[in-house]
Amino acid sequence: MDRAPAQQTPRKTKSGLHRGGERRLPEASRGNLRRAALLAIVVLTSIMALTALFPQLDLAVAGLFYDGAGKGFAMRSQANLILLRELGYYLPMIVLVLAIPGFLFGMRKPHRGAFLTVWRILFLALSFALGPGLLVNGVLKEVSHRPRPSQIIEFGGASEFRPWYAADGACEHNCSFASGEVAGATWLLAPASLLPAPWRAVALTCASVMTVAVAALRMAFGGHFASDAAAAALVTLVTMLAVGWALLRREGDEARFDASGPRS
């Protein structure tokens, strides 16, 4: 009697593709993403705590960009920096808008390794709407009443400096705390986290650099304090993690925000 051939056990290659199985994100990569997100939250929370205990730190950092009564925050008049700011402002919205036709195109030719699924589109849209949209621009900027650096007496303005936790400043609308543009730049980590390896690491690095650059520009232009930028990044990052956990775990462990890996 002929013996049936033994079933081979799928072997994992260096690329993470299990022969005869699915492509999975290596456990080390998942751990790195989790540790990076946790480290960012710790750093941002520490900045918020330090500027709450020592509000003068915000003034000291803002003072680094102030060129005196005659010039003010002179960097905000430089054309190349203005262009970079515009890029940081519009890029998150462009990425979100382009994700929609990308998803529709994938629906025409569905396959298991699709980059954009229904849950991932919902993750991108909801994390953007709740983080930069509702919490930062819709709530914090409207209830904080914090004047911007360029508006306070220390830097040639007429308003009194207020720490980030004191909602009793002279600003009435679109106030300094927190930074909407930094929140939008931080959100770029969301689509970057969904890309397949090796593009994921490159995209996450670029998104992180963009976030730091936008934060530096907003401070250099006299538009925000350091705590404004830190709060925006912190709120957006926590929102992304929460929305990602709620939505992407429906696709399985490999599709979570902190452990996303396309399947083939």
Mean model confidence pLDDT for the chain: 85
| Domain spans, the chain | 29-260
| Banded pLDDT at 251 (limits 50, 70, 90) | low
> Tens digits of per-residue pLDDT, 18-56?
433 334 455 555 567 788 999 999 999 999 999 999 999
For residue 150, give both structure tokens. 């360029």
Q: What mean pLDDT comes out for the span 208-223?
A: 98
Q: What mean pLDDT comes out for the span 170-183?
A: 97
The pTM is what?
0.84
Q: Are 104 and 116 in contact (CB under 8 A)?
A: no
How many beta carbons lie within 10 A of that of residue 11, not counting itself? 10
pLDDT at 198: 84
> Tens digits of per-residue pLDDT, 139-156?
999 999 999 999 999 999
pLDDT at 262: 38
What is the residue type of 206? C
Helix H segments across the chain? 27-53, 56-63, 79-108, 118-128, 141-143, 180-187, 189-194, 199-220, 226-248
Cα separation of 173 and 140, whole Å?
10
3-class DSSP state for residue 255?
Answer: strand
DSSP state letters, 70-124 = TTSSGGGG-HHHHHHHHHHHHHHHHHHHHHHHHHHHHHHS--TT-S--HHHHHHH
Q: Are 172 and 222 in contact (CB under 8 A)?
A: no
For residue 196, give both structure tokens. 């397949």
Q: Is 127 exposed, middle or buried (0-12, 13-18, 19+ CB in 10 A)?
A: buried
For residue 18, give both structure tokens. 């299990």
Q: What mean pLDDT comes out for the span 4-30?
A: 45
Q: Say whether pLDDT at 204 is over 50.
A: yes
